Amino acid sequence: MICPNCNLELPEGHLYCEKCGTEIQMVPVFEPEVEESISKTLSDIAEIIEPVQQKEERTKDKIVKRRPRLRMYYFIPIGFFVVIAMIFITVYVSRQYSYSFQYHEALDHYNNKEYETAISYAKRAIKLDGSAKDAAVLLADLYVQAEKYDEAIAVMLPLLDVEQADKDIYEEIVMIYEKQGNYEAINQLISACKDVQIVAMFEEYTAVPPEFSLEEGIYYKSEKLKLLVSSKGTIYYTMDGQEPTLSSTLYNEEIVLEEGTNIITAIFVNEWGVMSTSAKRTYTVELKMPKMPIIKPESGNYTIPEAITVDAENSQDAIIYYTDDGSQPTVSSNEYITSIPMPLNNSTFYFMAVSREGICSEVVKREYNLQITSLVDINAAEQAVIITLYGKGELLDLTGKPKDGDGINSYKCNAAAKAGSRVYYIVEEFKEKDSLQESTGRYFGVDVRTGELYNVTINQETGLYEFSLFSLIF
């Protein structure tokens, strides 16, 4: 081998010239057959390799192209799960903060008698809306079912701060107190209520102090006092200013206010045993003596009788008592009702007015002397009555035996009266039996001049005697 630069002959296989350092190019000996054979072989190899390379390239392209899809397939279920979770969380949170949902859940569990679960939902609803009545009433009912009355009251009472005139709230609270038997609490609750309609609804539970029919003050006559209440129960009272108790006087009729100072203190106990506060009134009664009765006519001698009368206008609000036997009058004496016929001969009357309070007036005295001059005397008048009644068959004989045969009738003339221009003897009928004599209330009039017999009646308006001719028809 020769160095192409310095022509130094080199041993076989050297790659560099030892003399000049030139690189020796190794050029093989050219052989066409071998070259063609190599070319053909390389061509065949190329034909085999090229499809494989193309397939690998296509496979790589597919892999490159499919790789994003595989990633999407992974993320779709994850995203779906996330969405579902978010929806679930949203619904859960919305329900947790929804008054309506919590209330209806509580109601459903209540209807299913799942009380503990219902209580939890009701409490949650109240936390969400503390002023909501429905959930509070439901929770109170749940506590009542569990006999937790104090808890039920604690739920309901705050609602009154918002709904002061809600009758449903009052009904619920009253129901709970009634379950407890706590009627005193009901009384306090209703007494503090400002709504008159609600108070009227629960009036039976309240214990309101009695009302008095009379105003306090000074009275000049005895009065009757009424104690009034509007619901069922009992009234107790005292008259000396002491506080009444259940042992005090039971009120069952009007209280008569006596003369002097009357301090009336009363309490009311309703049918549930709740006692009201006391009510007190003071009354002063200053009684006045009634006026003396005015009596007509004046004392004196008379030949023509006049009716003895009392001036009613002067004696208003008083009762007139009188005597005709010379004794002093009392409340047990004869009560003056209508005019009195003037007695024959000498008579003495005493009159006295007594107020409704029992105060007596001064006594008035009247003395009369009636002397009638006539051909018909007293005995003739009495006999005229007996003969006429015997003639009519009312008497069986002239001794006065009545038709029914019971006792003996007697007829006495003690007075006289005037009607128009006529003057009559007044003959009174008496029944005598078993040594007792009583007036029958029947009177006859006998004309002092003619002796004619008349029926006698008293006019209820004027109080005067009226006379009508006695019938002689048999």
pLDDT at 361: 92
Considering the domain boundaries, does residue 8 fall inside one?
Answer: no
C-alpha distances out from residue 311 to 319, 323, 472, Å:
12, 17, 39
**Final residue belonging to a domain, choices 368, 393, 417:** 368
pLDDT at 53: 56
Among 348, 296, 354, residue whose Cα is nearest residue 330: 354
pLDDT at 50: 58
Q: Which of the four pLDDT bands, split at 50, 70 and 90, describes residue 52? A: very low
Range of the domain at 243: 211-285
Residues 200 and 103 in one domain: yes
Element containing residue 218 per DSSP (H, E) = strand 217-219
Residue 23 bridge partners (DSSP)? 16
Q: Which of the four pLDDT bands, split at 50, 70 and 90, describes residue 31? A: very low
- For residue 329, is pLDDT > 50? yes
Mean pLDDT, range 427-442, rounded to an integer: 90
Residue 200, judged by CB atoms within 10 A of its CB (0-12, 13-18, 19+), counts as exposed
Mean pLDDT, range 139-159, rounded to an integer: 88
Residues 199 and 215 in one domain: no
Residues 167 and 237 in one domain: no
Residues 157 and 233 in one domain: no
Residues 268 and 339 in one domain: no
- For residue 430, is pLDDT > 90? yes
Among 378, 189, 220, residue whose Cα is nearest residue 285: 220
Q: Which of the four pLDDT bands, split at 50, 70 and 90, describes residue 21? A: low
Mean pLDDT, range 235-264, rounded to an integer: 94
pLDDT at 49: 52
Q: CA 174, CA 182: separation in Å to the nearest integer?
A: 9
Residues 274 and 310 in one domain: no
pLDDT at 460: 75
Considering the domain boundaries, does residue 20 fall inside one?
Answer: no
Q: Which residues contact 474 (CB under 8 A, 6 or more apart)?
A: 391, 392, 393
**Per-residue pLDDT reduced to its tens digit, 345-357:** 999 999 999 987 7
Mean pLDDT, range 325-330, rounded to an integer: 94
Strands 233-238 and 260-270: antiparallel
Separate counts of helices (H) and strands (E) for the chain: 9, 22
Residues 103 and 175 in one domain: yes
pLDDT at 465: 82
Element containing residue 198 per DSSP (H, E) = helix 196-201
Mean pLDDT, range 382-399, rounded to an integer: 92
- For residue 338, is pLDDT > 90? no
pLDDT at 57: 57
Residues 197 and 106 in one domain: yes
pLDDT at 257: 92
Considering the domain boundaries, does residue 31 fall inside one?
Answer: no
**Final residue belonging to a domain, choices 257, 285, 313:** 285
Angle at 302 between CA 296 and CA 306, to 5 degrees: 40
In the chain, % of residues over pLDDT 90: 42
pLDDT at 68: 53
- For residue 204, is pLDDT > 90? no
pLDDT at 279: 96
Among 365, 402, 367, residue whose Cα is nearest residue 386: 402
pLDDT at 3: 73
pLDDT at 54: 59
Phi-psi region of 181 (alpha: psi -120 to 50; beta: other; left: phi over 0): left
If one counts the domains in the chain, the total is 4
Residues 103 and 201 in one domain: yes
Mean pLDDT, range 331-355, rounded to an integer: 93
Lowest-confidence range among 93-107, 224-238, 396-410, 446-460?
A: 93-107
| Sequence letter at residue 258 | E
Residue 427, judged by CB atoms within 10 A of its CB (0-12, 13-18, 19+), counts as buried
Considering the domain boundaries, does residue 256 fall inside one?
Answer: yes
> Is 167:198 a contact under the CB 8 Å cutoff?
yes
- For residue 56, is pLDDT > 70? no
Among 320, 376, 321, residue whose Cα is nearest residue 344: 376
Residues 140 and 116 in one domain: yes
Considering the domain boundaries, does residue 91 fall inside one?
Answer: no
464 vs 307, residue with greater confidence: 307
Q: Which of the four pLDDT bands, split at 50, 70 and 90, describes residue 67? A: low
Q: CA 189, CA 199: separation in Å to the nearest integer?
A: 10
**Final residue belonging to a domain, choices 251, 285, 319:** 285
Considering the domain boundaries, does residue 328 fall inside one?
Answer: yes
**Per-residue pLDDT reduced to its tens digit, 207-229:** 889 999 999 999 988 889 999 99
* CATH at residue 260: 2.60.40.10
Q: What is the rounded average pLDDT for all residues in the chain?
A: 83
Torsion of CA 215, 218, 220, 221, to 10 degrees: 40
**Per-residue pLDDT reduced to its tens digit, 87-111:** 656 555 555 668 889 888 888 988 9
Mean pLDDT, range 181-204, rounded to an integer: 88
Q: Which of the four pLDDT bands, split at 50, 70 and 90, describes residue 18? A: low
Residues 153 and 237 in one domain: no
Residues 179 and 239 in one domain: no
